[in-house]
Amino acid sequence: MSQMRKKSSSDGETKPRMSFVNKFLRGSKLRSSEAENRNESNDLKTADSQPSDETQKTATLDTATPLASERELGCQVEQFLQKLGRKAVDTCLDLSNCGLTTADVREMGLVALLPFLPDLETLDISWNDFVGGTLHSVTEQMHLVSKLKSLRLGSCRLTTDDVRALGAALKAIPDLEELTLSWNSKVGGNLPLILQKFQAGSKIRTLELVDCALTSEDGAFVGQLLPMLPSLEVLDLSINRNIGGSLSSIAQGLKSASNLKVLKLQSCGLSQKSVKLLDAAFRHLSELRTLDLSCNKELGGGFEDSPAQVATLERLEVLDLHQCSLTAGDVVSLTQVIPLLSSLHELDLSANKEMGSSSENLLSRLRFLPALKSLLINNCALERETFAALAEASVHLPALEVLSLSWNKCVGGNLTLLLETLKLSTSLQVLRLSSCSLVTEDVALLASVIHTGHLARLQKLDLSYNDSICDAGWAIFCQNVWLLRELTELDISLRPSTFRDCGQWFRHLLCAVTRLPAITDIGMKRWLLPASLEEELKRLDQDRRSSIHFDHGGHQ
């Protein structure tokens, strides 16, 4: 709806919406009016005689000059926002990833803007490298935005002085609910300087400290802090490899975080012992929806004796255990637990190669997770028997939207095991079969499924790194791919070590593209186009209104 649209006032008149400058000036007038009201009683006590004309002129000039100055300031602030392509509203100021310079922060930009947004609730200046070293200019204004609820400072290259200034300023924003400091390495070793101002009963709901170079001491401090954050719902400590040694303190603190819904400890140096420590905390986290323990390679073996309490997480929707070096014993234990998580929506067990020969029972029991929407089993060295168990179970997953089996060689030549799933699935949007040793018969099977009207909701299809498919197979596939009307991304790239000439099937693909309204990206890395096909591709680019990115290997 147009921003110039007018709205009715209480008396039936209409008036245009005010620009930022007008709001800015209105605030100035209100402040002036308040000052005049405060002085009114003093004015009544003055002599009854009227001031001279000269006095009145002087007073007029004195009041006009500040107003003109503030009008000029308002215009400069609006120009600052226009330069960044952003707008300020009463409650939200988003300046993330907009190339703020030091001058933008210190001079006529952010610092000048904050005093005129007293109702501001969200301030995001993430992904601006030059904020580092200048944050004190912003924190000095924090008392003017005391209603702030969300402060995002991710990847700002904060310095130690910035960290110290931020810690001192947090007491001025008692209603803060979200604090994001991720990707600032100077936070590490200095975390208490920031968070020590939090008082018992703090309103913080989200605390994100991803890749902050946190030390073991920082981890211990987090454990001590958690009991003071009764409203905490999201805690992300991912990619802080040194906090594994202080997990006992963190786990103890988690027992007080009964409202926690998201816990992310990806790549935190967790060990087998860590699983036991967390297991003791899980019974206190009945509201937990997301648990991410991925990329902790020393975790393997930890679930063999301590998976029981995971089963108590009845509301868990996301479980990520990819690249955890799960052992056969872990898989046996998880077989007893994962099928009990009836609310599970997303499960990632990728890059655990021991699963290949030991996960048949686990995968077959996934049928008891009817709400499952995303299943990632990439690079698990599946064998034919385990793949067959997965295929059989997937028939009973009607909500499945994402299925990724990439880097499991056993899929090649056995895709027919998934035939019933592909036919029955009405929700599948993403199918990834990269580097699965697919053969011509496999893509012919996939083409037949598409031809009969199945996979109608598919949006992303990855068939890359399957170099054994011959030109005839690609031709059959490309003749039918146009039926995937919602397809946005298709990848048929070759392996990095392989280069091949495109066959006549590429013309079928070009024809299909003209009938795919949503397609935006086609990956064809290392496929070489003859000059004639290169010309056809150029004509297609010229004819279509919306551009499609063909990432191919060039021309012969």
**Identity at 95, one-letter amino acid code:** L
Tokens of 418: 């998934």
Q: Could you give the CA distance from residue 266 to residue 209 in angstroms, rounded to a whole number?
A: 12
Question: Among the listed ranges 29-33, 80-84, 183-187, which one has the minimum average pLDDT value?
Answer: 29-33
Give the C-alpha separation, 339 to 393, whole Å. 12
Q: Is residue 521 a part of any domain in this protein?
A: yes
pLDDT > 90: percent of the chain = 69
Residue 406 resides in a domain: yes
| Domains identified in the chain, total number | 1
23 CB-near residues (< 8 Å, 6+ apart)? 116
Smallest Cα–Cα separation from 88: which of 135, 120, 125, 112? 120
Comparison of pLDDT for 209 and 75, the residue scoring more: 209
Residue 350 has pLDDT above 90, yes or no: yes
Residue 195 lies in a domain: no
pTM assigned to the model? 0.85
Confidence (pLDDT) at 68? 53
Q: What are phi and psi of 470, to 5 degrees?
A: -85, 175
Of residues 471, 552, 459, the one with CA closest to residue 508: 471
Note the residue count of the chain. 556
Going from the C-alpha of 475 to that of each of 302, 445, 504, the distances in angstroms are 49, 13, 8
On whether residue 215 sits in a domain, the answer given is: no
240 found inside a domain: no
Distance CA 394, CA 364 (A): 8
> 35-61, pLDDT tens digit by residue?
444 444 444 444 444 545 544 444 444
The whole-number average pLDDT for the span 287-300 is 97
Token representation of residue 93: 């100021």
Specify whether the CB–CB gap between 280 and 309 falls below 8 A. yes
Count of other CB atoms within 10 angstroms of residue 526: 19
Task: For the chain, give the percent of residues with pLDDT over 70.
Answer: 82
DSSP 262: E
From 138, 139, 129, select the one nearest 98 (Cα to Cα): 129
Indicate which CATH number applies to the domain containing 478.
3.80.10.10
Q: Any bridge partners for residue 521, and if so which?
A: 489, 549
What is the DSSP annotation of 168-193?
HHGGG-TT--EEE--S-GGGTT-HHH
Angle between helices 505-513 and 531-543 (to 10 degrees): 0
Identify whether 120 is part of a domain: no
Region 276-285: mean pLDDT is: 93
Strand blocks (E) in 80-154? 92-94, 122-124, 150-152
For residue 54, with 0-12 CB atoms within 10 Å meaning exposed, 13-18 middle and 19 or more buried, which class applies?
exposed
> Is 496 contained in some domain?
yes
Instruction: For the chain, give the longest Cα–Cα distance.
Output: 105
Q: Where in the sequence is the domain holding 427, given as residue range(s)?
A: 401-555
Rounded distance, CA 437 to CA 215, Å? 44
Alpha helices in 365-513 (DSSP H): 384-394, 419-424, 440-451, 471-480, 505-513
Task: Tell me the sheet residues that pair with 320.
Answer: 292, 348
Q: Is residue 548 part of a domain?
A: yes
- In the predicted structure, residue 322 carries a pLDDT above the cut 70: yes
- Reported as a single tens digit per residue, the pLDDT across 208-251 is 999 999 999 999 999 999 999 999 999 999 999 999 999 999 99
Q: Considering the chain, what is the average pLDDT of its residues? A: 86
For residues 323-345, give the mean pLDDT: 95
Please name the residue that has the structure tokens 């029991």. 365
